[in-house]
């Protein structure tokens, strides 16, 4: 029988650390049951119709700790649905995957277990602590830190752990760190053994502290280390200066608000995360179908009439060519019509339809596109501008100087900020370092949604505004707020470059 329930390891926090099999399982899920240790970005792999249920796990001592989640899983699987139980790290390492598999077995429900990168491995790689090393450690022990070493009923043999010839990794032990260190030292472990605590390993929120075993509890307390965190004890911790790489990334730990529409945020989010930042997505605008396709359909019906078809965004390309196909026409409808794209992203969108832009200006703003077109087009040419239902009018005005310009709205853009979005609270609390503003419309939508507390954070320099171009910067300044970082060529890559430069200098 095919599995109905998948017990899937989601990895330690970085969404890229989920396995390919985890993604395959999510793609076929009817129900995803996840908890706070699983990266939210993975939920996007589940179909939109899938029910996504967040569960809060009860304290480890609670008698009913896993029952409600187990019941939920059994109930949904019993209804014939495909259930993915997504778990932080690996399902069988302190994940109670074993118990859940037993319950499924007892209920006669077929299941599959998908391993994940357990937190110890995530922390090892991202904090630069090789768990084994030919010179320093030939064994690793994965230990629960949940046991109170002071209690007589502790199931752990602290003498054996103190003598263990290798690296010790404690899960769930931060609250009991002092007692753990004491128990190890009392049982003979050298108090000078290098040790570390790693909070939220593999994410932009990662925090690593190092000290001798004897001093680690105080250092962790002073640094305010909270769960989820691992404690790693062993000589290998001393290799961090050579092996650590993640915390050295240029945007490490910076919280960066991404304000693009959800479907388009992915690229920026991935790039920021690869630079060590914590991207937070707050879509400022949403892309919708235009209210009325009539004008677009008329243009499509007689496309060859136009000498130039001009696109000012990748969205415009997808919307226009999508509509063309919807009308059961294909690329031949374009005939000899020449194509202009405002910048590299728009040109790339054209290429995805096997089309080359005949013109892409050297700089990517309406003024530059207009200037480049004016050099190329013949007087009296017919120009079709495919664009959003709102935006600047520069291009039409400029082109109208030599040709006949027809402007069609191939998509609508609406403000879309959810008033209760948690990112707005983070802004108020001053927890966001940068707000990226990737168009004038986005800037206007975001800035209009900010209350006084948020504006104050920007004015005081706690939160900085990052603008994609001088035009967007001018709009931001007109709204009374300062721009800290500005891209010169209006691409998001350039914006990230500018942000890295600013960060180096600041």
By the criterion CB under 6 A, which residues form the site for ligand SAH? 12-13, 37, 87-90, 93-95, 118-119, 122-123, 171-172, 198, 200-202, 227-230
Nearer Cβ to ligand SAH (122/194): 122
Nearer Cβ to ligand SAH (240/421): 240
Rounded CA-CA distance 466/258 in Å is 10
Where are the extended beta strands (E) located within 41-134?
51-54, 83-87, 111-114
Considering only CA atoms, which of 453, 471, 470 is closest in space to residue 462?
453
Rounded CA-CA distance 5/186 in Å is 45
Rounded CA-CA distance 36/228 in Å is 10
Cα three-residue angle 258-263-269, rounded to 5 degrees: 35
The least CB distance from residue 126 to ligand SAH, in Å, is 9
Nearer Cβ to ligand SAH (93/319): 93
Nearer Cβ to ligand SAH (201/484): 201
Nearer Cβ to ligand SAH (13/149): 13
Rounded CA-CA distance 122/17 in Å is 8
The least CB distance from residue 9 to ligand SAH, in Å, is 7
H or E element at residue 373:
helix 366-376
Nearer Cβ to ligand SAH (91/194): 91
Work out whether the CA dihedral 226, 230, 236, 239 comes out positive or negative: negative
Nearer Cβ to ligand SAH (229/256): 229
Name the one residue in this structure whose structure tokens are 């304290």.
59
The least CB distance from residue 390 to ligand SAH, in Å, is 42
The least CB distance from residue 102 to ligand SAH, in Å, is 17
Question: What phi and psi values does residue 171 have, to the nearest 5 degrees?
Answer: -95, 155
The least CB distance from residue 357 to ligand SAH, in Å, is 44
Name the one residue in this structure whose structure tokens are 């967040």.
54
The least CB distance from residue 347 to ligand SAH, in Å, is 39
The least CB distance from residue 97 to ligand SAH, in Å, is 8
User: Which one-letter DSSP state was computed for residue 166?
Assistant: S
The least CB distance from residue 59 to ligand SAH, in Å, is 12
Work out whether the CA dihedral 99, 13, 139, 192 comes out positive or negative: negative
Q: Cα dihedral angle (329, 332, 335, 338), rounded to 10 degrees?
A: 90
The least CB distance from residue 65 to ligand SAH, in Å, is 12
Nearer Cβ to ligand SAH (194/228): 228
Can the peptide bond before residue 228 be classed as cis, meaning omega within 30 degrees of 0?
yes
Nearer Cβ to ligand SAH (143/265): 143
202 and 12 Cβ atoms separated by less than 8 Å: yes
């Amino acid at each position: 029988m095919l599995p109905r329930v998948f017990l899937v390891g989601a990895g330690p926090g970085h969404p890229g650390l989920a396995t390919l099999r985890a993604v395959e399982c999510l793609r076929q899920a009817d129900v995803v049951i996840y908890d706070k240790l699983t990266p939210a970005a993975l939920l996007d792999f589940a179909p939109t119709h899938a029910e996504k249920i967040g569960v809060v796990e009860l304290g480890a001592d609670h008698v009913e700790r896993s029952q409600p989640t187990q019941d939920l899983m059994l109930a949904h699987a019993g209804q014939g649905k495909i259930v993915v139980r997504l778990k932080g790290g690996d399902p069988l390492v302190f994940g109670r995957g074993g118990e859940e598999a037993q319950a499924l077995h007892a209920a006669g429900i077929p299941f599959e277990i998908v391993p994940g990168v357990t937190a110890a491995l995530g922390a090892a790689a991202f904090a630069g602590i090789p768990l084994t090393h030919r010179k320093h450690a030939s064994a690793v022990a994965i230990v629960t830190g949940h046991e109170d070493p002071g209690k007589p009923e502790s199931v752990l043999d602290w003498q054996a752990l103190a003598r263990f010839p290798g690296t010790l990794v404690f899960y769930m032990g931060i609250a009991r760190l002092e007692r753990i260190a004491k128990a190890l030292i009392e049982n003979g472990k050298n108090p000078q053994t290098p040790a570390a605590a790693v909070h939220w390993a593999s994410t932009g929120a990662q925090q690593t502290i190092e000290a001798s075993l004897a001093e680690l509890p105080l250092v962790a307390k002073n640094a305010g280390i909270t769960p989820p965190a691992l404690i790693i004890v062993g000589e290998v911790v001393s290799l961090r200066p050579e092996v650590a790489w993640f915390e050295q990334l240029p945007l490490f730990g910076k919280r960066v608000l991404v304000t693009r529409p959800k479907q388009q945020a992915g690229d920026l989010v991935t790039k920021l995360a690869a630079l060590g930042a914590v991207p937070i997505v707050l879509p400022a605008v949403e892309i919708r179908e235009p209210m009325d396709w009539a004008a677009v359909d008329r243009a499509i019906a007689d496309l060859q009439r136009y000498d130039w078809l001009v696109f000012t965004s990748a969205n415009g390309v997808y919307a226009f060519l999508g509509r063309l196909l919807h009308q059961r026409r294909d690329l031949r409808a374009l005939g000899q019509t020449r194509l202009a794209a405002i910048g590299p992203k728009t040109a790339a969108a054209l290429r995805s339809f096997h089309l080359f832009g005949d013109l892409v200006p050297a700089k990517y703003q309406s003024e530059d596109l207009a200037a480049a077109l004016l050099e190329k087009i013949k007087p009296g040419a017919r120009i079709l501008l495919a664009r959003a239902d709102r935006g600047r009018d520069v291009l039409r005005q400029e082109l109208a100087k030599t040709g006949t310009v027809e402007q069609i709205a191939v998509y609508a853009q609406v403000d879309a900020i959810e008033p209760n979005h948690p990112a707005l609270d983070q802004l108020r609390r001053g927890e966001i370092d940068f707000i990226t503003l990737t168009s004038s419309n986005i800037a206007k939508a975001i800035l209009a949604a900010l209350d006084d507390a948020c504006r104050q954070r920007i004015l005081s320099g706690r939160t900085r505004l990052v603008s994609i171009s001088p035009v967007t910067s001018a709009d931001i300044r007109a709204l009374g707020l300062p721009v800290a970082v500005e891209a010169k060529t209006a691409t998001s890559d350039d914006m990230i470059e500018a942000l890295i430069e600013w960060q180096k200098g600041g």
